[in-house]
Amino acid sequence: MGRLIAAVLGVLLILVQSAKSDGPHVPEWVADAVFYQVFPERFANGDPSNDPTRDSLEAEVPATWKVSPWTGDWYARDAWEKELGPDFFEHGVFHRRFGGDIQGILDRLDYLQSLGISAIYLNPVFHARSLHKYDGSSFHHVDPHFGPDPAGDLAAMATETSDPATWRWTTADRLFLKLLEEAHGRGMRVIIDGVFNHTGRDFFAFKDIRDRGAASPYTKWYTIERFDEPTTPANEFKYKCWWGVDTLPEFADTADGKDLHAGPKAYVLDITRRWMDPDGDGDPSDGIDGWRLDVAREVPVAFWRDWHVLVQKINPEAYTVAEEWDEASKFLGDSAFDATMNYFGFSFPTKGYLIDSTMPATKAAAEFHDRLDDHPPAMRYAMLNLVDSHDTDRLASMIVNAARRPYEQPARFDYDISVSPRHHADYALRKPDARERRIQRMVALLQMTYLGAPMVYYGTEAGMWGADDPCDRMPMVWPDLAYEPQAADPKGRPRPSEAVAFDQKMFDFYRAAIALRKRFIALRRGEIEFLPADDAARFLAFRRTDGGENLVVGINRGDAAHEWRVPTPRGGSVQQLFVASGEVDAVKIRPDGDATVVTVPPLEGVVLRVHQPE
């Protein structure tokens, strides 16, 4: 209790001190960052000796269960999967494990560095039974199967409690700290995923409740509606869980609902200290560089404010980003997050205009502009501009399945709800064609030239495609591995065989687009001004400026060439910097009085530099 009181008093003191600051907290480095999202279980298997075992799964699976082949046909079913039932999606796929681990990420840092990545966002690395690890068994340990000694780590963890004095540093924890050291040595930041709304059933506090019932000291950490009655054969144990999913019991709030309950709150503050300053010496350089927080709006705002005070006290340059799909300006201000995953302000209009081509260019420009204006100027540069993630179908497959619903539907409904053959038999699983790949390049160019921090989902730069969960979580396609073609079908239908391989040309394009962003400060820190759009031509343009740098970006989503008049000062000139397709000779530039006429081919994006007169 003394430790809890001291923690609360410390937070109150920091709140008083921080109340004097003005404006949102925005870490300086984020504006220059290019993020890369890693789903650890599916990124790289660097150590097969630590692969998950049948006992590590929560669900009952056949005795014949085994780790799935990394390079296998995604839609082909192993023998153990067929024992579970005839339906591919609901019987087997969610119990697959491929063995991705921390060593695999370490082994591939050279790859990320060569791509130009400067910040890595890791989906949850904490101990959990699921493949996604949002059902944490602990928030103070890395999953043992991500490290070199799972059995030893589990044994070391067995006697721990919520008291940090009982916590050990496992081999998996220490390997994760090595990853931080290696990444920092390359100039890369690392942020990790956390979910402070719910846990898994094997979370140490909830497990204690399951074992001891009302005698457990953790009963107030959760909302227990009824304990089991041991004299009856039935299990009456009932508790509040996230979205009614019984594997995800929710942490309790205070009685007034304005804060997280004191028990889990103190625990979360303790794990925050642990990962942000592992050796506790006051120097956060050995810790993580920030957090991405799942279902952030479902945790009380008072908790987030106190938590942010602690985060910024430990590391003033730490970055916090909330998962939020809708308009979030008030929530960000109230909760003190630096930014949100920018689905609302970037992903939705990008899909409507550029992917689906159902949103007029003028409407897209207005939505981009208005949704930027929702946030304070400094915060706009910290927004995480993504297109695909572990919660959506992959960008390439979004394009293949474009305009499945009219844009007038609510944006998220069109973006990620039921975009999978699990729900729609007509969802196309095929590989993108050349035209669709051109559109992917245009989307990536928009990401790398727009205001805010771009984020690439693992494998998008390698040409990967796939529907929503579980198909957006296929094992990473690497250039040094040979993959079976995709020939099987989830519904058992005839399907042409399609080769699966690393797309070197797409990788080279992403690398070049990232390099362009790094080369010009205007693309990272400059102002943005939307230029006149053309709905008939489906043409969108904007200007990025910083000091003497004046860059303009034009995107032609139409099927015909478009003549774009770029205002040019007398005596000035326009220089072509980048063409999304790589077909540099196809873009024609000619002076015309006080403007320069740029002929932009169909399905093309171009970046130009406007030079002032000498």
- Tell me the pLDDT tens digit for each residue of 244-273: 999 999 999 999 999 999 999 999 999 999
Whether 224 maps to a domain, the answer reads: yes
Instruction: Tell me the mean pLDDT in the region 135-145.
Output: 98
Residue 362 included in any domain? no
Comparing C-alpha atoms, which of 452, 554, 482, 544 is closest to residue 33? 452
d(CA 556, CA 32): 27
For residue 589, tell me if it sits in a domain: yes
Contact status, residue 153 vs residue 141, Cβ threshold 8 Å: yes
Q: How confident is the model at residue 90 (pLDDT cuts 50, 70, 90)?
A: confident
Whether residue 302 has pLDDT greater than 60: yes
323-344: average pLDDT: 96
Angstrom CA distances, 83 to 75, 90, 250, stand at 16, 12, 33
pLDDT at 447 over 80: yes
**What mean pLDDT do residues 122-137 have?**
96
Give CA–CA dist 296/450, Å, rounded: 25
Assign 16 a pLDDT band (cuts: 50, 70, 90).
very low
Boundary residue ending a domain (194, 220, 244): 244
- The domain boundary, picked from 213, 244, 275, lies at 244
Q: ω into residue 532 within 30 of 0, thus cis?
A: no
Q: How far apart are CA 47 and CA 148, in angstroms?
A: 7
- Once rounded to an integer, what is the mean pLDDT over residues 189-217? 96
Mean pLDDT of 20-26: 64
Q: Report residue 175: phi and psi, to 5°.
A: -65, -35
User: Is residue 563 in some structural domain?
Assistant: yes
* pLDDT-above-90 percentage for the chain: 87
Q: What is the reported pTM? A: 0.95
Query: pLDDT by residue (tens digit) across 377-421?
Result: 999 999 999 999 999 999 999 999 997 765 566 677 778 888 888
Answer yes or no: is pLDDT of 14 > 70.
no
What pLDDT is stored for residue 10 in this prediction? 42
In a domain, 439, yes or no: no
Which residue reads 């196809």 in tokens? Answer: 586
CATH number at residue 602: 2.60.40.1180
Return the higher-pLDDT residue of 492 and 566. Answer: 566
- Give residue 422's pLDDT: 85
Domain that holds residue 235: 205-244
Domain count, the chain: 2
Is 600 within a domain? yes
Mean pLDDT of the chain: 93
**Domain membership flag for residue 1:** no
- Amino acid (one-letter) located at 410: P
Q: Looking at residue 410, what is its pLDDT?
A: 62
Would you say residue 521 lies in a domain? Answer: no
